[in-house]
Structure 1
Amino acid sequence: MPTASPDTIRVLGAREHNLRNISIEIPKNKITVFTGVSGSGKSSIVFDTIALESQRQLYATFPAFLLNFLPRYERPHAEAIENLTAPVIIDQKAVGGGPRSTVGTMTDIYALIRALFARFGTPSGGLVHEYSFNTPQGMCTECDGLGMTVAADPDKLVDKSKSLNEGAILLPGYNAGGGSWQMYGSSGRFDPDKKLRDYTDAEWHELLHGSGGKVELAFDKGTWKANYEGLADKFTRSQLKRDTSALSEKTRRQIQKFLTEGVCPACHGARLNPKALATKINGRNIAEWTALQITDLVEVLGQVTDPAAQALADTTRVALGRVADIGLGYLSLDRATSTLSGGEGQRLKMIKHLGSTLVGMTYIFDEPSVGLHPRDVGRLNRMLEALRDKGNTVLVVEHDPDVIQIADHIVDVGPRAGAHGGDVVFTGSFAELRDADTLTGQGLRRTFRVKQQFRTATGELTIADADAHNLKNVTVTIPTGILTAITGVAGSGKSSLIRDEFMARYPESVFVDQSAIAASSRSTPATYLGLMDPIRKLFAKATGEPAGLFSFNSDGACQECEGRGVIITEIAYMDPVTTHCESCDGRRFSDKVLALTLRGRSIADVLEMAAEDAVEFFPKKALNAKLRTMNEVGLNYLSLGQAMSTLSGGERQRIKLATQLQNTGSVYVLDEPTTGLHMSDVDTLLALMDGLVERGNTVVVIEHNLDVVAHADWVIDLGPDGGKDGGEIVFTGTPSALLAHPGSLTGEYLRRYRNGGATVPA
């Protein structure tokens, strides 16, 4: 490749993950969209090569002291990466921030509102921190500023139909006669044969909250006298009032079963103390302001007439307007960030940068259209164009044709996924891509059809009087035995209807959502799907060796790299360096283990197999069934031993779906399963859902993707808009009937898509 122009970012010989020594030039101060099937290598170019090297070089300019507090990145596998600029990476990772993080704190808008109340509220405390639920001066003392209280639930701690001798205490470790049980059963305060439902109020209080006196506990090695403590108080002290961060997920789930969570009785969820809540502006306190829908709060700020407060009020309105402009005006500032979807979180991350006056930056987005109704994609596009027009480079990994359409330059990666991808198969304009012989080009050219023949429902599941969040006491029935799509703009009430209301009424349904996969750094598809134990047993049976030997986490691991396949060298103040393990040639196992085979294949050979090959190699029914699920969800190209950390977002979503396909539930609920999927991958997903229905299951899918909506047998559309303007059933019926519905935004964009193949004008 000739010398790169300073007006382009140059990548030479990139080999990260499945990239095949690719070289490309990306124009600066333009919007470049990277397309291709899930797992083709898009993210390997954009995030694991360009973004990572940009961050690594930027951090290298910081003093050594600061480097101790920053993540360290290894240099990407590439010959050269040139002409980089400072990166701003806006991905789909969970917003996090803990229970104290809200939309207001994340966007820094709450700080502006606190300043308004401190300076212009009546009566005013005068200090900004007196209106913060994260400081002792402002927080509610009952809930410590969380707005919620968590307490032991007596009805969950015990079974009132039993006596102590019959095992009335349900907490683990309190079996009758045991040490913990003796605190109550041997205390002499209760008749151990008396049913708890027959306890007097005094006995009930003594059991749960009593204190004082000693109880002699008998153990194998002698006796010990302990201070008596009521069951609920002891559980609260030992399990709730402690640092639970070190507890395992399993232990946390066990504890959760005995708790009840409710709105704080002191502050009623406002998080603040009475002094902070006493301050008002135009008749409302700060909690009432933050509980308003953002579009309504903009109007409230417009009613601030004090000339001294005008500048601060206007600044706050502008900040709120940015949130509304990006399609999140239905949120409230007191909304906990932990409840946001991946798409909502990513769009909120953008807010901070929209008001920035920095130029010459590289903004990097990971599928920013995730979770967006087609109506809102136009808003997203305008924001991306505004960033470019200010003098920035914008790199976007995307599948949505409407976002691809606004690109100044497109890089299509493929031709397929995994080992069959990793090449740049096209560069050019949108018009040129439509004519290209790639999977993306074919997808852009294909004819959009709305289903005309529909399956007949076998029954119905009723959701009556649903009022969660913004739902307006709606009643609707979901047909059984067919494919139903739940549609509507963001914030219309789709998740409230299905996640909160439907799942509460039909908890036996199989629910596949977008929550992150909890997996260790050594997790692979084989371990995640539960394949490794049966595979190790087969090797043990064939070789006569213990099954544990065939794990790279135990004695069978290569001693040089400890089963990683690579050796990571870390030196203070320097980037980590990962090198290929020469001892095992990157195969993770010791020579002894690699010499042991099953039908001519070592355990390392098996882990290197693609799922499509493993199906043929393992005919055993149980193993074969699990492997087939990988193929059914379109992950046939993945190797069994590939690190889960290297999977793309779409791949992780589908492998999670694969685990659920092993269940026998008759109702499947899928939450935006097209997240991260290429147009050709959507066809695979549709075939999968059809297969589930044809086997007698009911499939309910929450979706924005119009191909999925058009393929459904039945549609339930919520709206008409988001937040307080949503929460109603706008339409129920077939997709073809939805086309003719005048009041549905989904119907409007379905018509646009049918007529032109794109919903946003070029």
Structure 2
Amino acid sequence: MGTAEENIHIQGARVHNLKDIDLSIPREKLVVITGLSGSGKSSLAFDTLYAEGQRRYIETFSAYARQFLGGLERPDVDKIDGLSPVIAIEQKTTSRSPRSTVGTITEVYDFLRLLFARASDAYSYNTGKKMVSYSDAQIVELILEQYSDKRINILAPVVRSRKGHYRELFEQIAKQGFLKVRVDGEILDIERGMKVDRYKTHDIEIVVDRLAIKTGDQDKSRLEESIKTAMYSGDDILMVLEEGSDEPRYFSRHLMCPESGISYPIPEPNTFSFNSPKGMCPECNGLGHIHQVNPAKIIPDKKLSIKAGGLAPLGTFKKSWAFKQLETIALRYDFDLGDPISKIPEEALDLIINGGNERFEVNSKSLGVTRQYKIDYEGIATFILNQFRDSNSSSIRRWAKEYMDKVTCPECDGSRLKKSSLYFRVDGKNIADLAQLDIAELYSFFQELDQRLEGDQQVIAAEIIKEIRTRLKFLLDVGLDYLSLNRGSRTLSGGEAQRIRLATQIGSQLVGVLYILDEPSIGLHQRDNQRLIKSLKALRDLGNSVIVVEHDKDMILEADHVIDIGPRAGKHGGEIISEGPPSELHLHHTLTADYLNGTREISVPKQRRAGSGKSIRLEGCTGHNLKNITAEFPLGKLICVTGVSGSGKSTLVNGTLYPIMNAHYFNGVKKPMPYKSITGLEHIDKVIDINQAPIGRTPRSNPATYTGVFSEIRSLFAKTPEAAIRGYKPGRFSFNVKGGRCETCQGGGLRVIEMNFLPDVYVDCETCNGKRFNRETLEIRYKGKSIADVLEMTVNEAVNFFEHIPKIHRKLRTIREVGLGYITLGQQSTTLSGGEAQRVKLATELSKRDTGNTFYILDEPTTGLHFEDIRVLMEVITQLVDKGNTVLIIEHNMDVIKIADHIIDIGLEGGRGGGKIIATGSPEEICEHPESYTARFLKQELQPQGVLETENQGNA
């Protein structure tokens, strides 16, 4: 067994479904925990080991600090020995802030800012010339050298191109003892200067001194004093004007353009931060995009009249101030509010949308009088923009957003930074240029950068460049070479976010830490798996313990120690069914071992489906890295879109195809990525996107409420005799409505403890003990069970319990069929993994009556699934396709790819090296493609089946 120093000992773990397990996990090894979904892997890794590590960390705080944090409950375990400090790298922990980017999470952008603050060259945005800054001593020497034997004026600029009369300024200058000023290029006495035209733009400088520069040993003291005075009055800028010349020369302690005189402050790291007022673009506040009103959304149909609701934000005609103004505009431009909008003059439409002021007269022939009218109209677009900017109500802002488009900021062109920050360059590139490069290109840029720099810059930058290179190398090692630093963190998949945090942790070089990872291989192509495994081993070799919850075949076989939990899910799981090195897995006849040694397998279909013969054709896609591609999606088939991470799969499917289809069938508002044309949409009835976004963001949401089965259960409870006697309606059994719920926790079942600088912690409500309902509601029973008891049932138990209620039974049976029989009906949606949330959505769609002509889109549905779970899931999806529907799956898992009817392989590489369709066709046809990375791994999957041999014999 080893000593406590060599192992982490767990005794009597009973968290969730764990069956009082005892376990020793070797330290400083790569340990994989595997097993069916819901078998108890996360309960062991996160809810036991990590929860205890977090609790012990908080125990080290002072009593004063702990009173603000509240107490963390000890996990239900007898004893844990040998536990190191724990860091969990989960899928859900990435910031959703629009200000968070790959660069800020990895801290590479912080080092870039430091590099630009210390070792960049500044250029003028007016002339493109290199900016200069001088010390006072340098300025003295330059003036003596360049103006020898000449008379000069030393000037301090105080007003730059601004309107005004400046009387107070001139009085203040006079009080300081100065006699003359230079106004708009002319030197005047101060009294004459006071008579300037207040409505014209002026440039004003104080004449600090007029002196002759002599050759030889001139007394410098007067010149030095004058420069000091001019710098003080001119905010560290002075001008030297030779008598008889109109062109002054600028000198500054700041960075300054020697020709135009514009100056930049001395750079600091915040000068290049889009999260700081010193660096952010003032137009978009450092977000890189702005919201702009779209007139096409205000007038969606020009055939309608204004009265009939042609102006979408105003709706149909009603007696209001807005419509009264529109009637006045109609009078001015001679149209009727009942006319189609297409017949209204352009000037009138411009006034309606953008607003304006106007007075006009109308002669009334019948009355023989002239009446005067006044238009003072804000304009619908202006009103929407003001509501969006100024309203504190989220619902009003959401309403305004419906009529707006998110567009790239025209001021900074999406770079997020202010103009001057973009004119600092290192080796000819500004910081935004570098943030746009993918990691692989950025790494090659920094490879020999220190040798390309010169002088002091090379010395200053050497350490910073070394740090940047090291961090970029870690990102390359975990297969993220296709990402760029300016990629928003909210656009990252769970696997990408996790691998970024993994790279950051490797970069931090901690030792003696227990790392727990949750499926880091998600979203990773088989080609890049070895790089990820190598990175985890590097983390282990530093002297850390690495525990990975994983189903990936390569990861299991490369581990030092494998723990298999099962034998089944939910109440039938929670036991250690095998443990030891991967080489000993075959000794245990577990489901995992059977799939690894080939005893069980997901079989390749004998025949690929022919489909309906119709297809959807999408042409000219150029979003992100797509290279003007044309994709054809044959209908009535199971289609897989494959390719290495970052090749463009999500851009094609989620960014282009789905928004087009959603807008066509359901008037969706998300703007698709650029494309030329699409044909074939008439061949299907609807599109359904089943993604991995959470089914709810609060503990109030659960599978029962999401699928709609809870409404049926509440109605059933309301029909019980006891409920009828008491007059209880279905609302009585809702934990979101006053009356039946526990008012202490307001039906949440939990109390939230805000941890400030740690994630919030939820503890059971002390009044209802997590039951959510009050005592009277819990007294109502159906077949001996209260509404709280039903919510605590697993789906498998509920299927049997509601066997004779067809409406409820059908929905529950569908949840079980997608492999979620182990989850409870009331399980908080915040505790569901991305894959589980996706399958709840799939079950919701499957429980509806399908038309046999639906287009389903799934993004990596195998996330979090064991080999056996994948088999169950694919059986359900196969049934969908057999009914005539089309299912499109973005996938890396070979077990899914090999049973597809049609594959679209995108590549060749990720990022800029991707975006092309490499191969299309059946899995057998893809295997023949020499360039495809997918083909290499697919061939290995198909060969044991004997499929390829029979194909080749047939061809021969």
TM-score (ref. length: structure 1): 0.89
Segment drifting more, 281-290 vs 712-721: 281-290
CA apart distance, 1:297: 1.6
Q: Specify the alignment match of 1:548 in structure 2.
A: 731
**CA displacement, residues 579-615 of structure 1 (integer Å, 9 cap, x when unaligned):** 697x878654444434434455543443344323434
CA distance in 1, matches of 2:56, 2:933: 46
> In the alignment, does 2:650 pair up with 1:473?
no
CA distance in 2, matches of 1:241, 1:252: 9
Q: Specify the alignment match of 1:683 in structure 2.
A: 871
Q: Specify the alignment match of 2:387 in structure 1.
A: 238
C-alpha change, 1:274 and 1:642, in structure 2 (3 Å) is: closer
- Structure exhibiting the larger radius of gyration computed from Cα positions: 2
1:424 maps to amino acid: I
CA distance in 2, matches of 1:642, 1:273: 47
C-alpha change, 1:358 and 1:144, in structure 2 (3 Å) is: same
Q: How does 1:533-544 map to 2 (within 5 A)?
A: 533-543=711-721, 544=724
Q: Specify the alignment match of 2:832 in structure 1.
A: 647
Q: Specify the alignment match of 1:636 in structure 2.
A: 821
CA apart distance, 1:707: 0.4
**CA displacement, residues 530-558 of structure 1 (integer Å, 9 cap, x when unaligned):** 11222222222333232222234442235
CA distance in 1, matches of 2:275, 2:882: 53
Q: Specify the alignment match of 1:127 in structure 2.
A: 268
Q: Specify the alignment match of 1:166 in structure 2.
A: 308
CA apart distance, 1:744: 1.1
Q: Is the 8 A contact 2:626 2:914 kept in 1?
A: yes
**Helix, strand or coil for the counterpart of 1:634?**
helix
CA distance in 2, matches of 1:560, 1:119: 57
1:132 maps to amino acid: S
CA apart distance, 1:524: 2.4
Q: How does 1:477-496 map to 2 (within 5 A)?
A: 477-496=632-651
1:127 maps to amino acid: E
Unaligned stretches of 5+ residues in structure 1: 215-225, 758-762
**Helix, strand or coil for the counterpart of 2:527?**
helix
**Helix, strand or coil for the counterpart of 1:696?**
coil
> In the alignment, does 2:602 pair up with 1:603?
no
Q: Is the 8 A contact 1:38 1:650 kept in 2?
A: no
Q: How does 1:144-163 map to 2 (within 5 A)?
A: 144-159=285-300, 160-163=302-305
CA distance in 2, matches of 1:537, 1:86: 49
> In the alignment, does 2:641 pair up with 1:499?
no
Q: Specify the alignment match of 1:700 in structure 2.
A: 888
C-alpha change, 1:135 and 1:563, in structure 2 (3 Å) is: closer
**CA displacement, residues 127-164 of structure 1 (integer Å, 9 cap, x when unaligned):** 22212222222222222221111122222123544443
C-alpha change, 1:471 and 1:3, in structure 2 (3 Å) is: closer
RMSD (Å) for aligned C-alpha atoms: 3.2
Q: Specify the alignment match of 2:224 in structure 1.
A: none
Q: Is the 8 A contact 1:4 1:25 kept in 2?
A: no
Segment drifting more, 149-158 vs 309-318: 309-318
CA distance in 2, matches of 1:202, 1:86: 70
CA apart distance, 1:254: 4.3
Q: Is the 8 A contact 2:692 2:837 kept in 1?
A: no
Q: How does 1:414-493 map to 2 (within 5 A)?
A: 414-446=566-598, 450-458=604-612, 459-493=614-648
CA apart distance, 1:177: 1.7
Segment drifting more, 114-123 vs 678-687: 114-123
C-alpha change, 1:25 and 1:242, in structure 2 (3 Å) is: farther
C-alpha change, 1:96 and 1:213, in structure 2 (3 Å) is: farther
CA apart distance, 1:714: 1.4
CA apart distance, 1:562: 5.8
CA distance in 2, matches of 1:209, 1:123: 41
* Sequence identity percentage: 40
**Helix, strand or coil for the counterpart of 1:84?**
coil
**Helix, strand or coil for the counterpart of 2:543?**
coil
Q: Is the 8 A contact 2:735 2:747 kept in 1?
A: yes
**CA displacement, residues 295-332 of structure 1 (integer Å, 9 cap, x when unaligned):** 11222223521133343323322221221121111111
CA apart distance, 1:126: 2.7
1:705 maps to amino acid: N
Segment drifting more, 103-112 vs 585-594: 585-594
CA distance in 2, matches of 1:336, 1:524: 29
Q: Specify the alignment match of 1:208 in structure 2.
A: 353
CA apart distance, 1:691: 0.6
**CA displacement, residues 340-398 of structure 1 (integer Å, 9 cap, x when unaligned):** 11111111111211122321111110011111111111011111111111111111101
Q: Specify the alignment match of 2:694 in structure 1.
A: 516
CA distance in 1, matches of 2:693, 2:907: 25
CA apart distance, 1:625: 3.1
C-alpha change, 1:347 and 1:230, in structure 2 (3 Å) is: same
> In the alignment, does 2:447 pair up with 1:302?
yes
Q: Specify the alignment match of 1:78 in structure 2.
A: 77
CA apart distance, 1:483: 0.7
CA apart distance, 1:180: 6.8
CA distance in 2, matches of 1:227, 1:63: 64
C-alpha change, 1:584 and 1:749, in structure 2 (3 Å) is: same
CA distance in 1, matches of 2:468, 2:788: 59
Unaligned stretches of 5+ residues in structure 2: 124-265, 360-374, 663-685, 946-956
Q: Is the 8 A contact 2:99 2:275 kept in 1?
A: yes
**Helix, strand or coil for the counterpart of 1:412?**
strand
Q: Is the 8 A contact 1:53 1:75 kept in 2?
A: yes
CA apart distance, 1:201: 4.6
Segment drifting more, 183-192 vs 410-419: 183-192
Q: How does 1:12-27 map to 2 (within 5 A)?
A: 12-27=11-26
Q: Specify the alignment match of 1:218 in structure 2.
A: none
CA distance in 2, matches of 1:51, 1:510: 37
CA distance in 2, matches of 1:67, 1:573: 13
**Helix, strand or coil for the counterpart of 1:521?**
coil
Segment drifting more, 722-731 vs 162-171: 162-171
1:654 maps to amino acid: R
CA apart distance, 1:282: 2.9
C-alpha change, 1:155 and 1:35, in structure 2 (3 Å) is: same
**Helix, strand or coil for the counterpart of 2:122?**
coil
> In the alignment, does 2:497 pair up with 1:345?
yes
Q: Is the 8 A contact 1:629 1:662 kept in 2?
A: yes
Q: Is the 8 A contact 2:69 2:755 kept in 1?
A: no
Q: Specify the alignment match of 1:142 in structure 2.
A: 283
Q: Is the 8 A contact 1:67 1:573 kept in 2?
A: no
Picking from 836, 841, 846, the partner of 1:656 is 841
Number of aligned residue pairs: give it. Answer: 740
> In the alignment, does 2:928 pair up with 1:737?
no
CA distance in 1, matches of 2:414, 2:753: 49
> In the alignment, does 2:565 pair up with 1:413?
yes
C-alpha change, 1:20 and 1:100, in structure 2 (3 Å) is: same
**Helix, strand or coil for the counterpart of 2:809?**
helix
Q: Specify the alignment match of 1:557 in structure 2.
A: 741
Segment drifting more, 636-645 vs 100-109: 636-645
C-alpha change, 1:600 and 1:56, in structure 2 (3 Å) is: closer
**Helix, strand or coil for the counterpart of 2:865?**
coil
Q: How does 1:29-48 map to 2 (within 5 A)?
A: 29-48=28-47
Q: Specify the alignment match of 1:709 in structure 2.
A: 897
Q: Is the 8 A contact 2:745 2:765 kept in 1?
A: no
CA apart distance, 1:62: 3.0
Which structure has more relative contact order (CA 8 Å, sep 6+)? It is 1
TM-score (ref. length: structure 2): 0.72
2:383 maps to amino acid: K
Segment drifting more, 570-579 vs 251-260: 570-579
Q: Specify the alignment match of 2:550 in structure 1.
A: 398
